[in-house]
Structure 1
Amino acid sequence: MYCIFIFCFICSLVNGFLFDGSQSLSTTCSSIQVDVVFLLDSSGSEGSVNFQKQLHFVKSFVEKFEIGPSNMQVSVVSFSTIVMENFDLKKYQSKYELLAAIDTIPYLSGTTHTDEAITFAVKHSFSAVSGDRTQAPNVIIVLTDGQSSSPSQTMHAAYQAHSAGITTFAIGIRTSDYIGELKYIASDPQNVFQASNFNALDQLQNVLSTKFCEAIVTTTPVVYTTIPTDFSYSSNCRLRPADVVFLLDSSTGEGAHYFQEELNFVKTFVNKFDIGPSDMQISVITYSTRVVENFNFQRYQTKQELLLAIENISYISGSTNTHEALSFALQHSFTQQAGDRAKAPNVIIVLTDGQSTSPTMTKQVAATAQQKGIEIFAVGTGDNLSFQELLSIASGRQYVSRVANLDALYRLQSELTTTFCEGKA
């Protein structure tokens, strides 16, 4: 599923960085087709003032290139305790719109989960769903002011990016003690840059642009492979309001690690939609022996607040009382008191790794929910569940997915989004 490409480095530093002896290197690549994702550290150590300086740095870089469907496309992802996709590659197709959008990116605060940001870019930013183009080189530019919360996980995520053929640049601010981490984030030692402080960031613009152009300008066509285009979804989907309840299996069979993967799945889904009172609303319920409503529809009305709330959901452990979770959603989630909207479609997405403790009750409650017009997706993982039970939960066979493990949920993500956005839900 990863984007893979072969680079041929043919640029040389001659006479003030000349290409073919006559044409400026920056001019050569200023109109080139390339997909660029900026990963911006928005942790507590940054502070809002310094985060604004990072945004200024991104705008200055963007100013040097032509923006559009045949030129450079840019996505900006912020990370701290959560990962927040501010906009994907296809969102803004003019420089004016792009620069204006960068100005509106909010500061988050929190810890420094660099690994999750890189993983998000690899698995989701460079996909047809997000606007990635098969013939365009893929580039990640990471800006950070400190060591990540999990250096080993960051190293693994960076390895995945490099293996996918993504050219990665690492820019550190006040990171002299963490140069080693920058080196393994970058796909080449020459792609590592350091600024002594945030005010010195702009001094890196010229050298970054030069190295950037050296990496992407080639003389021969290069073939790229991306996530299949049948995973795409309608751009109008973001405009379709819906009230969506996630029911997450938090039983003993799930385990804390795989429960975290469920949360990552939900966060990725959320990042693909506009969140708010006129757009999509999300509620998350966890279940095992007991049912826990982590938050209802009206609790979080911005994507930033919602992602942070999902990050803080706790693992429970216990048995698999799927029927009680469905019953709670039916009786309490889709009510005016919980924020349900009369004209918005109601959707339940069930994630589970095992057969419920009462399959008969689960089937009955699911049938009642469907009779009330609630669309139900059933996603099963592992080998310890019945496909027939998944069918009894879901609104139809096309709403059932069974994957070997939770890693495969990422491949399912776009299929689920497509089904949802085609108006079937």
Structure 2
Amino acid sequence: MAGKELIKTYFHVVPCTILYCKVDIAFLMDGSWSIGKRRFKIQKDFLVEVSQVINVGVAGAMMGIIQYGDDPVTEFSLKQFSSSKDLKPAISKIVQKGGLSNVGKALSYINKHFFSDANGNRGGAPNVAVVLVDGWPTDKVEEASRLARESGINIFFVTIEGPDENEKQNVVETNFVDKAVCRTNGYFSLPITSWFALRNAVQPLVKSVCDTDRLVCSKTCLNANDIAFVIDGSSSVGTGNFRTVLQFVANVTQEFEISDTDTRVGIVQYTYEQRLEFAFGQHNNKADLLNAIKRINYWSGGTSTGAAITFAADQLFSKSKPNKRKIMIVITDGRSYDDVRAPALAVHRKGVIAYSIGIAWAAQDELEYIATDPDRDHSFFVDEFDNLYNYVPKIIHNICNEFNSQPRN
């Protein structure tokens, strides 16, 4: 809190300096014909002022600019200029490209090409993209934005003179800002009523992009998954123990950030047959999801774990989003009547990280076949249902530990 207060004070004392801001930031400037030459010049003046306030340098913020119209073009990369002083003439020389206002295409471009080591992406600094839009995009932004967010890019939108009531019918994708930005809480979006008021947005925008505690859009072990629970509902489990299993599932789920753009959860219950209790994305907030888990009814029957794994692959993971980590948690209390090896191998090959949790009469060899290697990190055994709760922190720890050990932007 003290750091934030310090920044506020600094703005009062020295209006053109931010104290410390270590981010890698890409500005996507609107070069479409609809903006006109005069407003394009206002946009450049705005970016010059931002570059001076943000205090560009290798110890702080690094700033690059992409201009978009029909197609995006990098005006300069993150590593091209290492001081605010050098940026000023570079921005002033940018020439308007013209064309449509293809924001979705520009977001795909930065996700695939801009934030790379070759372009000066530092890895230790948050990636931020600030999109300036005159009016509205002429293409769809939702999918491109989602993929960019899931790659760890914190997306902000500055919309100037958005569509009025008569123009809204021309908008390609309604609520495009909410679909694109990191959080729909107003923090990541800045609507400006007039181009002549754009200058007033300099300090609020810089303050937002520099508050690295709030830049939580990028992937973490808690917001980057599609998790499938595959739950044994066979006769040997019993109603009381089945409720204990559901409580365990709820306790694990509770630890994740749940939404359509964060972690999603799906559940399959199985006996000889399989039942999809709910799919990924069916319950997109934590309260709804926990209630849905609570409402699952115990089935009773035989135990065909192999068929259940195949069913989960077909019904859940086939609909998994790109860039999501696919995690399967199989919970069983007995030996399967069918083979688990081939189905488990098939999901492993599709990139699913599989955990197996055996209770009471579960077969150790089957648990090891189901689990991703190394078994010690992905396979667990408890002698009684009531001891399941002990493994909640261990599973969360292992999921996060594995996630954090993977190389990422």
Q: Which has the higher contact order (CA 8 A, sep 6+)?
A: 1
Asked which structure has the greater CA Rg, the reply is 2
What TM-score range do you get, normalising by the shorter chain? 0.3 to 0.5
TM-score (norm 1): 0.44
Q: State TM-score, norm by structure 2.
A: 0.46
